[in-house]
């Protein structure tokens, strides 16, 4: 094996590792930002390809950049949909995909948190998602959502508290 193919193999393994680490969180965020599963998967794939194209190097993309691209593409998609009522009716008819791994023992709790998270206002939902499952810092969240870092922190705190209240209320 020459050095080129060895390097290629390394990049391949790094890329698979990167996907294993970040792709589930990215898909979770894409699902929250879109109205149906197909849109979420399309936007995730398009965003990753766009980042590769823009990056012009073989370095692995920064997750914050991919999250920001997903958000921008989701906004563009929502704007491009002219018949909003039809889209929402279609989305409501569709069974939503599971946001979390349901193979865990506490399946009911996973579903409860998903529903609680879904009921949160979007501005809190996205900050909590980016922080907890995206692993972004408040500075990165600030860049991704184009809001001040202090706003991101306060939204996170409020979102976590609201989420906890909702889950405790349901479990009580």
Partner 1 sequence: MNDSELEKFEAELRNLKPAALPGPLLQSLVDSRPKLENQPARSPRLNPGAVKTFGLSHWLRWLIPATAVVVGGMIAWVSLRSSAPNTLKPATAPPSERLVADDISVERQLVSTYDAIAELPTGEPVRFNCREWMDEVNVRDSSKGLVIQKRIPRVEITPVRFETY
Q: Using an 8 Å Cβ cutoff, are 117 and 166 in contact?
A: no
Cα–Cα distance, 119 to 74 (Å, whole number):
19
CB of 17 to partner 1, least distance (A): 11
CB of 51 to partner 1, least distance (A): 10
Cα 61 to the center of its chain, rounded Å: 15
| Residues 64-93 contacting partner 1, CB under 8 A | none
| Integer CA distances (angstroms), 110 to 103, 104, 107, 114, 126, in order | 10, 8, 5, 6, 18
Q: Is 43 in the site for partner 1 (CB under 8 A)?
A: no
**Per the structure block, which two tokens stand in for 79?**
């704007």
| Residues 116-145 contacting partner 1, CB under 8 A | 128, 132-133
Site for partner 1 (CB under 8 A): which residue of 75, 97, 119, 139?
97
Task: Using the minimum distance from each CB to partner 1, give the nearer residue, 85 or 114.
Answer: 114
Closest by alpha carbon to 78, among 27, 43, 105?
43
Question: What residue ranges bind partner 1 (CB under 8 A)?
Answer: 4-5, 7-8, 11-12, 15-16, 19, 23-25, 27-28, 41, 44-45, 48-49, 52-53, 55-58, 97-102, 104, 109-110, 113, 128, 132-133, 157, 160-161, 163-164
């Amino acid at each position: 094996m020459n050095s080129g193919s060895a390097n290629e193999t390394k990049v391949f393994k790094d890329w698979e590792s990167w996907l294993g680490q970040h792709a589930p969180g990215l898909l979770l965020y894409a699902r929250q930002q879109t109205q149906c599963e197909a849109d979420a998967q399309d936007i995730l794939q398009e965003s990753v390809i766009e980042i590769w194209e823009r990056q012009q190097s073989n370095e692995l993309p920064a997750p914050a950049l991919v999250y920001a691209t997903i958000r921008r593409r989701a906004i563009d998609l929502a704007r491009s949909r002219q018949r909003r009522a039809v889209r929402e009716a279609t989305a409501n008819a569709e069974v939503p995909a599971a946001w979390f791994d349901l193979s865990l023992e506490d399946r009911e709790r996973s579903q409860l948190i998903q529903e609680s998270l879904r009921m949160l206002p979007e501005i809190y939902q996205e900050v909590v998602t980016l922080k907890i499952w995206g692993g972004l810092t408040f500075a990165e969240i600030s860049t991704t959502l184009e809001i001040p870092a202090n706003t991101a922190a306060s939204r996170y705190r409020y979102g976590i508290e609201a989420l906890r209240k909702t889950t405790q209320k349901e479990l009580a």
